[in-house]
Structure 1
Amino acid sequence: MRYEILGPLRVADGATYTSISARKIETVLAVLLIRSDQTVTPHQLMDEIWGVNLPLRATAGLHVYISQLRKFLHRPGRSENPILTRPPGYVLLKGTDEVDFHEFLQLIAQGRAQMKQRRHEEASSCFEQALGLWRGPALGDLSSGPIGDGFVTRMMESRLECLEMLADAHLELGRHRELVGRLYALIAENPLCEAFYRQLMLALYRSERQADALKVYQTARRTLDEELGLEPCQALRDLQRAILAADSQLTARAAS
């Protein structure tokens, strides 16, 4: 089986996908997947399902959800259900099954290692594969508690890092012209991410658009001041000065 939660939660058996319509059961599966191979206590699960508004028979309700989830994950030919009772709670054993966010994080790690070795083409491929695993917001529109919220935040930050490293890899490969539109879109989605402003300024400068690159700096400066009362970071200020001075170190090799 393959579990996918970089988007609405679904379970794949080959080319067949199944999902859970009952939100509370879906929440239980999501939490057990996030903590796969780790024991999750009943209290943690109930906190994710109900928060502070626990019903009178919360423990009995959780037992029912676990039972229904085991039925949902039962597959003919498998001797053991992936969800086990393990004191003081429950655990989802991944075994040979796949989880998409594990693959996502592994691809990012591989890409980061390739970047350190200056193998930018290989790094770019890893980052693009990682981003291709996303089908929408992590966990879709599933509301959750501390474990789910922490996971979503972690995945969002990891995705931003992946996008930044992919742009850096493309800049190293001389693909600055094809980056421009993508970076404008990323800035619109993440107006406080200074890395994207820096990358866009550099891509525009290398595309012989010096004036546009300087306008991006002014946009970054205005946005950061209005939103946070801050000046651009040192890297942005240094890049602005380098562009004004037509620093030869800003040039790049031709696109590959």
Structure 2
Amino acid sequence: MRYEILGPLRVIDGKNAKTIKAQKVEILLAALVIRSDQVVSTDQLFREIWGEKLPRSAMAGLYVYISQIRKLLRHPGTETSPVLTRPPGYMLTLGPDGHDGLDLHDFTRLLKEGRAHLRNGRYEPAVRSFENALALCRGPLLADVALGPILQGFRTWLSEAQLECMESLMEARMALGHHRELVSDLYLLSTEHPLREAFHRQLMLALHHSGSRGDALLVYQKARRTLREELGVEPGRALQNIQRTILTDNGH
């Protein structure tokens, strides 16, 4: 059994991919998957499913949803289920497959490997690790319906981890000399994430190394204006240093 949480939740059982149409059941299973091999209390699960507006029938509803999940995950011909009752709540066990049963663990492993490769100057394997990590991310998880801190916290963490992965991928590719090829991607990233200074810095570097010094300096001015208008701050030291380097570069 493999659980995929880096996008719309699905369960892979052999060649079959199972999805859940009932939103509350999907939220419940997502919370259990995110906290796999840990006990999640009934109070925590109530908050994930219903937020602060708890119905009187919450406990009965939770029993029904747990029963539906157990039926979904049960192998034919067996009575065992990976969802266990463990006071004060429930726990999803990954079983003998361990970390291989969850795409989230693959993502974090690849991200860690990529960081190590990048830190040690192994740029080609770094690129492969970051690309493979990003390829696991299939889209938003339960967009706009996460009510509780487990799902909301996970979505926030995953968004930040994906951005870090993309930044590091751009860094590794530039270290391999692919500046010109990255310009369009970095324009898009810096536009989508205008407060992310790393993408502006990388775009300035890519443009400068592609012979577009003026465009690189325009990127700095735009980034500075955005940061001042949105946050009331000046660009950080890294961005200022890149601007200074470009300004003082006489082409030799």
Q: Same fold (TM over 0.5)?
A: yes
Query: Distance in 1 between the 2:242 and 2:78 partners?
Result: 58
Q: 2:86 matched to 1:120?
A: no
Task: Tell me which amino acid in the other structure corresponds to 2:218.
Answer: K
Whichever residue aligns with residue 192 of structure 1, its letter is L
Asked if 2 retains the 8 angstrom alpha-carbon contact of 1:138 and 1:155, the reply is no
Match of 2:224, as an amino acid? Answer: R
Whether contact under 8 Å (1:6, 1:139) holds in the other structure is: no
Alignment match, 1:211: 214
Q: How does 1:81-230 map to 2 (within 5 A)?
A: 81-95=81-95, 96=97, 98-230=101-233
C-alpha spacing 1:77/1:111, structure 2 compared with 1 (3 Å):
farther
Q: 1:254 corresponds to which residue?
A: none
Q: Give how far 1:140 is off.
A: 4.2
- Specify the code of the residue in structure 2 equivalent to 1:163: M
Q: Secondary structure at the match of 1:6?
A: coil
Q: How far apart in 2 are the matches of 1:160 and 1:86?
A: 36
What are the superposed Cα offsets for residues 188-231 of structure 1, whole Å, 9 maximum, x if unpaired?
Answer: 11010000000000000000110110010001001101111111
How many equivalent pairs are there?
249
One-letter amino acid of the structure 2 residue matched with residue 24 of structure 1: K
Deviation at 1:105, TM superposition (A): 1.0
Deviation for aligned residue 1:15: 3.4
Matches within 5 A, 1:59-74: 59-74=59-74
CA distance in 2, matches of 1:34, 1:199: 33
Q: Which residue number in structure 1 is paired with residue 20 of structure 2?
A: 20
What SS does structure 1 have at the residue aligned with 2:162?
helix
| Matched position secondary structure for 1:11 | strand
> Over residues 160-204 of structure 1, what are the superposed CA-to-partner deviations in whole Å (9 max), with x where a residue is unaligned?
100110011011110111111111111111010000000000000
Stretches of structure 1 lacking an aligned partner (at least 5 in a row): 252-256
Unpaired runs of at least 5, structure 2? none
Is the Cα contact below 8 Å between 1:201 and 1:213 reproduced in 2?
Answer: yes
Q: Percent identity?
A: 56
Where does residue 238 of structure 1 map in the other structure? 241
Structure 2 matches for 1:2-13, cutoff 5 A?
2-13=2-13
Kindly indicate whether the alpha-carbon contact (under 8 Å) linking 1:5 and 1:139 is maintained by their aligned counterparts in 2.
no
Query: TM-score, structure 2 length as denominator?
Result: 0.95
Distance in 2 of aligned mates of 1:78 and 1:219: 62
Contact kept in structure 2, 1:139 and 1:152, CA below 8 Å:
no
**RMSD (Å) for aligned C-alpha atoms:** 1.6
User: Are the structure 2 counterparts of residues 240 and 23 from structure 1 closer, same or farther at C-alpha, using a change threshold of 3 Å?
Assistant: same
Normalization by structure 1: what TM-score? 0.93
